[in-house]
Amino acid sequence: MNKDKKIIKNNSVGLVKTQEFTFESLKLESGEKFGPVTLAYETYGTLNKEKTNAVLITHALSGDAHAAGVHEGQDDSGWWDEFIGPGKAFDTERYFIICSNILGGCKGSTGPVSQNPKTGKPYALDFPLITINDIVSAQKRLVDHLGIEKLLSVVGGSMGGQQVLSWLVNYPKNLASAVPIATTIKHSPQQIAFNEVGRQSIMADENWQSGNYYASTAPSKGLAVARMIGHITYMSDTSMADKFGRQKKESGQPFKFTADFEVEGYLRYRGDNFVKRFDANSYLYITKAMDNFDASEGRPLQEVLQGTPVKILVISFKSDWLYPAYQSKEIVKACKLAGVESTYCEVNSTYGHDAFLLEVKEESHLIKHFLKKVFYAYEVTGEYGA
């Protein structure tokens, strides 16, 4: 317990536990009925009596339900810990925060690694091809289960932002606001291309064996390379130069192609670390869901948003070249045309796509005040809350 106290930082939500919610079946977008489905989730803060203070946080490709706090006996702060806690952007003294691992994930929710009840073995490629809308419809079931009819907000970056847009399009009546961050209505060919190289890398690993590797060796090399490519796209030219320069690593006996440069060592480290915590098949399924996503399914987004009372905050980052600002501006354009109350800010950052996890000060300021406006009576007119 003493150890736990030491690793809990100031204004942390403290010790947290991952919980589970299981339901019989989910009707997928493809028409298939799939089940049972378990979602791993965590909550922080307290749901108020009126159930009006719930915020759903949606995670990115490699994220999980553990967004804040630490688990007992571990030194594992959540992936958005600096944003969630007393007095932070998601102030746990005001709001009830929910974060769940996505359907298809490998961190406690049902995914390819889960046991198929029909065979008693992991699903592997028998797992159905899921979509972002399926991921969101599973989240909706969890939100219903928690007895929340209307979320104060849904907030997420990158693939989390795709989920936010899916909520906005499919369940506008169940939201008071939405915050899509560093995301897009639909992937560009460039984004699909990077994901495809990642998938090819996994499938080219001889250990992959058409996805049936759970009883043998995992395709770790392939997954590590996929992750390395991912990391390159998450950073910027500037952030890489700042972090590594052309600094060389100190190594003993150089082989011709050792990781001489710091950046090479970093990528290898990131890749090797990732395989310890992530399932290669999940990576395939999730990246495919991201690539297939089109928030408004070919229709102009403004048509879908027309007349929605949901308030929207769109955030992008200047050096993000994976989800460039122009993609966020497409969302903003739809808001303008649909006459939706909205705010857009392109945060000045050199971190690249990673900025949504790292630009704590500016991003927190935007989210904190936006949520406050939506939650409390609009401080000047007192109109919100009807």
Partner 1 sequence: MARKEIQLDHSVVLDLVKPQSSVLDLGCGNGDLLYLLIKEKKARVQGIEIDDQAIYKCVAKGLNVFHGDVDTGLAEFRDKSFDYVILNQSMQQILHVDKVLADALRVGKKVIVGFPNFAHYKSRLQMLFHGRAPVTVALPYQWYETPNLHFLSIFDFKKYCHTKNITLERQVCIGENHKIPFLRNLFAQVGIFLISK
The residues binding partner 1 (CB under 8 A) are 311, 329, 332-333, 336-337, 339, 341-348, 362, 365-366, 369-370, 372-373, 378-381
**Given the complex with partner 1, which of 39 and 332 has the nearer CB atom?**
332
**Given the complex with partner 1, which of 297 and 379 has the nearer CB atom?**
379
Of these residues, 282, 349, 353, 354, which one is catalytic?
Answer: 353
Burial class for 84, CB neighbours closer than 10 Å (0-12, 13-18, 19+): buried
Q: How far apart (Å, rounded) are the C-alpha atoms in residues 216 and 200? A: 20
**Given the complex with partner 1, which of 192 and 345 has the nearer CB atom?**
345
**From the CB of 301, what's the least distance to partner 1, in Å?**
12
**Given the complex with partner 1, which of 322 and 332 has the nearer CB atom?**
332
The one-character DSSP state at 106 is S
Whether 114 is a known active-site residue: answer no
> Of all helices (H) and strands (E), which one includes residue 28?
none
**From the CB of 165, what's the least distance to partner 1, in Å?**
18
Q: How far apart (Å, rounded) are the C-alpha atoms in residues 210 and 231? A: 25
Whether 145 is a known active-site residue: answer no
**Given the complex with partner 1, which of 10 and 381 has the nearer CB atom?**
381
**From the CB of 268, what's the least distance to partner 1, in Å?**
36
**From the CB of 380, what's the least distance to partner 1, in Å?**
5
* Residues 6 or more apart in contact with residue 268 via CB below 8 angstroms: 224, 228, 259
Q: Reduced to 3 states, what is the DSSP secondary structure of residue 186?
A: strand
Token look-up 């795709």 returns: 162
On the question of a cis peptide bond just before residue 36, with omega within 30 degrees of 0, the verdict is yes
* Residues 6 or more apart in contact with residue 251 via CB below 8 angstroms: 258, 259, 260
Cβ count near 292 (within 10 Å): 16
Cβ count near 234 (within 10 Å): 23
**Given the complex with partner 1, which of 40 and 335 has the nearer CB atom?**
335
**From the CB of 371, what's the least distance to partner 1, in Å?**
11
Q: Reduced to 3 states, what is the DSSP secondary structure of residue 100?
A: strand
**Given the complex with partner 1, which of 267 and 367 has the nearer CB atom?**
367
The one-character DSSP state at 122 is B
Of these residues, 320, 328, 349, 354, which one is catalytic?
Answer: 320
**From the CB of 377, what's the least distance to partner 1, in Å?**
10
**From the CB of 233, what's the least distance to partner 1, in Å?**
24
CA nearest neighbour of 344 among 236, 172, 183: 183
DSSP H helices in the chain: 2-7, 132-145, 159-170, 189-204, 220-234, 237-244, 262-277, 280-292, 301-305, 325-338, 355-358, 360-375
**Given the complex with partner 1, which of 249 and 372 has the nearer CB atom?**
372
**From the CB of 196, what's the least distance to partner 1, in Å?**
32
Whether 158 is a known active-site residue: answer yes
Instruction: Write the CA distances from 184 to 90, 294, 306, 351, integer angstroms.
Output: 23, 9, 19, 18
Of these residues, 100, 158, 166, 328, which one is catalytic?
Answer: 158
The one-character DSSP state at 116 is P
Give the residue numbers marked as catalytic: 158, 320, 353
